[in-house]
Amino acid sequence: MDDLAKEYVISFFDRTLRSHGDRPEALRWTAQGQIRHYECLLEVATCLEGSSILDYGCGKGDFYQFLKDRNISVHYTGFDINENLISLAKSKFPECEFRVFDAEKDIISSEYDYIFLCGVFNLRVQDIDKTIKNTLLTLMPHCRRALAFNALSSHDPGKSPELNYLSPGDMADFAIMHLSSRISLIHDRIPYDFTLIIRKG
């Protein structure tokens, strides 16, 4: 994704944050939809308690709040490309580590038990498919146990022109070929949305 596309993504969420404030709608979720997506991510493990996690594309830290609400204590780190979202997250959760981060430019210096990407690549921008694969290739070596990634399914018959849809089968094939043969594909929880769980071999 070139710099112009990244600027579009940053400015898009700057606008939604100004419009909606500290609510799920700032990240283009409904409250119920956000929770349903997070619940799918929990299928990565029977228990996350005490684990270290990286929330890539963390926005304003809502996934951490979701875990807190369920009394799941983790060592949480959040990365996002948007400085305003990261600033809000830092103010809400000073006990966590948040960082403005771009996987195509910046270096990850730590390892995490689990890495999560929730709706990170749902906007249609130039070269987004290449960026998704490069990001997964960059993140997976820093994951000790599993990575969970969700996206909009290309099987949706009512696609929006501004949104990015991925083929679940193509993403599963890519994961098996380049990341790990130990994968789970969930396509039955949220209509036309899928979660891909990639476990370390």
Domain boundaries along the sequence of the chain: 3-199
Give the pLDDT score at 111: 98
Beta bridge partners of 54: 77, 115
Segment 19-30 mean pLDDT: 93
Q: Quote the Cα angle for 112-116-120, to 5°.
A: 135
Average pLDDT of the residues of the chain: 95
pTM exceeds 0.85, yes or no:
yes
Strands 143-153 and 193-199: antiparallel
**How many of the other CB atoms lie within 10 Å of CB of 11?**
11
pLDDT number for residue 3? 85
What angle do the packed helices 62-69 and 31-41 form, to 10 degrees? 70
Helix axes 128-139 and 168-178, enclosed angle (nearest 10): 40
pLDDT range class, residue 125, cuts 50, 70, 90: very high
pLDDT for position 22: 95
Is the distance from CB of 52 to CB of 112 less than 8 angstroms?
yes
**For residue 201, what pLDDT is reported?**
79
Query: CA geometry: angle at 176 spanning 108 and 46, to 5°?
Result: 70
State how far the Cα of 106 lies from the Cα of 197, in Å rounded to an integer: 24
| Confidence (pLDDT) at 1 | 81
- Phi/psi zone of residue 159: left (φ > 0), alpha (ψ -120 to 50 degrees), beta? beta
pLDDT band of 58, cuts 50, 70, 90: very high
Q: Which CATH architecture has domain 3-199?
A: 3-Layer(aba) Sandwich (3.40)
What pLDDT is attached to residue 104? 84
